[in-house]
Amino acid sequence: MTQLLLKDYTATSCVGHGRLATLDALRAKRGGLAPCAFERAQIDTWTGEVSDVDDERLTQTLGRFDCRNNRLAQLALRQDGFTDSVAQSVGRWGRRRIGVFLGTSTSGILQTELAYRRRDPATDALPADFDYGGTQNSFSVADFVRQALGLDGPAVVICSACSSSAKVFGSARRMMDADLIDAAVVGGVDSLCLTTLYGFHALQLTSNGPCKPFDSGRDGISISEAAAFALLERVPNSLDSDAVMLLGVGESSDAYHMSSPHPEGLGARAAMLAALDFAGLEPGDIDYINLHGTGTLSNDSSESRAVASVFGSSVGGSSTKGATGHALGAAGALEAVICSLALQHEFAPAGINTRSLDPALGIQYLVENRPGRISRVLSNSFGFGGTNCSLLLGRAG
């Protein structure tokens, strides 16, 4: 496949707003999870809430998009000069030649949950100020972002649960190869809501404390929220050696179960092999794996089998969800940003909260940051419905 340049990127999660805060947290092995205090949720779990989302105000002309998910999107877009980078691309390519490909799992459903509390007691009607298309609909975040950035190219939301914002890289790559666009804003935005908190709780998949991926005592996920974006362009003739490129995308389906991964990790294995194949690389070419690593018994066990079957125990990997929590539909893009920071700042980030590594999971799991240049990294994202996506990112030199 054609390689693409990550011309700019940014992320905002519970560990901080923007790249520097994210990098600092990773280097200091600092997490952002805290006991759940979201909304009316009464669940004994920890969550990763992003600070200051409630204070974000959307510009008046985009007021119909006002909801937590789009506030989080705007907060993230404001970091790191990302909006300026997009404006430069608009100047170069034109607003019609830049696409928007975003992932989310629940979009602005929180707005609907709140509106259901405010139904008219006599008629059951939702309040007049509730805007379905601007908030609840899955497309809302892409519509908001394209208008906020003044873009007029193809726009779509990929909504495949926890693989959503990894798969957006694949769609953008194809449209770039088809010459429909010259640049793409890709990313993921997912925000806390009662649907996911109570839903994962009903499935008994939420941890009582901060999640502990790959620990023998792991007991579930810590739900979080995040927004992460990357600006993709074709690779120019000359590049800085620390430029980050998308080298491969691998996608597959489990064909197994709606909410449990294949126990042997067959779908995960197929996605990783497809990403390597696309990039024309061998397992030995990979220096670090950012694992999906949700911290559930079944995910980490199935993913370990898949990783071991492709890489043995020779490649170090970690799940950064111990620090960021599981940002669901935003996890793929958030972890692509974390991988980009690792490539540019020359270290493999540790997984935190993991005290007693599960000996049954035969992979090389990093519990300390490992300094040193890494050239190529793989990032895994898997979701409900058995949807799998692996991204392969690398340095230019």
Partner 1 sequence: MVKLAAHIEGIGLLGPGLDGWTGSVALLEGRSPYIRQPTVVPIPDGLPPAERRRIGLVVKLALGVGLQAISKAGVEPDALPAVFASSGGDGENCHEICQALSHDERMISPTRFHNSVHNAAAGYWSIATRSKAASNALCAFDWSFAAGLLEAVTQVAVDQTRVLLVAYDAPYPQPLYAKRPIPGPFGVAFVLAPVSTAPPAQAGAGGSVGSIARLTVQLGDSPADRMSNTDLESLRASIPAARSLPLLHLLAVRKNGVVNIEYLDGRSLAVEVETCA
CB of 179 to partner 1, least distance (A): 4
DSSP string, 170-225: HHHHHHHHTTS-SEEEEEEEE---HHHHHHHHHTT-B-SSS--TTBTT---B-EE-
* Cα–Cα distance for residue pair 67/219, rounded to 1 Å: 31
CA angle (257, 263, 265) in 5-degree steps: 95
Q: Specify the residue for token string 């906020």.
A: 148
Nearest in space to 175 (alpha carbons), one of 191, 198, 158: 158
In single-letter form, the type of residue at position 311 comes to F
Nearer to partner 1, 270 or 343 (CB): 270
Return the number of the residue (205 or 315) whose C-beta is nearest partner 1.
Answer: 205
Least gap, CB of 356 to partner 1 (angstroms): 29
Is there a contact between 394 and 252 (Cβ–Cβ < 8 Å)?
no
Please name which of 209, 229, 163, 203 lies closest in space to residue 325, comparing C-alpha atoms: 209
CA distances from 112 to 13, 34, 251 (A): 23, 25, 32
Is the CB of 74 or the CB of 138 nearer to partner 1?
A: 138
Residue numbers at the binding site for partner 1 (CB under 8 A):
40, 42, 96, 105, 109, 112-113, 116-117, 119, 124-126, 130, 132-133, 137-140, 142-143, 152, 154-161, 167, 170-171, 174-175, 177-180, 194-195, 198-200, 202-203, 251-259, 266-267, 270, 383-387
DSSP, collapsed to helix, strand or coil, labels residue 376 as strand
CB of 285 to partner 1, least distance (A): 23
Cβ distance to partner 1 smaller for residue 1 or 315: 1
Residues serving a catalytic function are 162, 292, 326
- Could you give the CA distance from residue 324 to residue 293 in angstroms, rounded to a whole number? 12
Pairing of β 183-190 and β 226-234? antiparallel
State the nearest-atom distance from the C-beta of 327 to partner 1, in Å.
Answer: 15
Closest separation between CB of residue 31 and partner 1, Å?
26
Burial group, residue 351, by CB count within 10 angstroms (0-12, 13-18, 19+): buried
Pair 77, 223: CB distance under 8 Å: no
Contacts of 94 (CB under 8 A, 6+ apart): none
Shortest distance, position 306 Cβ to partner 1, whole Å: 13
Contact present, 46 and 220 (Cβ < 8 Å):
no
Least Å from the CB of residue 328 to partner 1: 10
* DSSP single-letter state for residue 44: S
Report the length, in residues, of the chain. 397
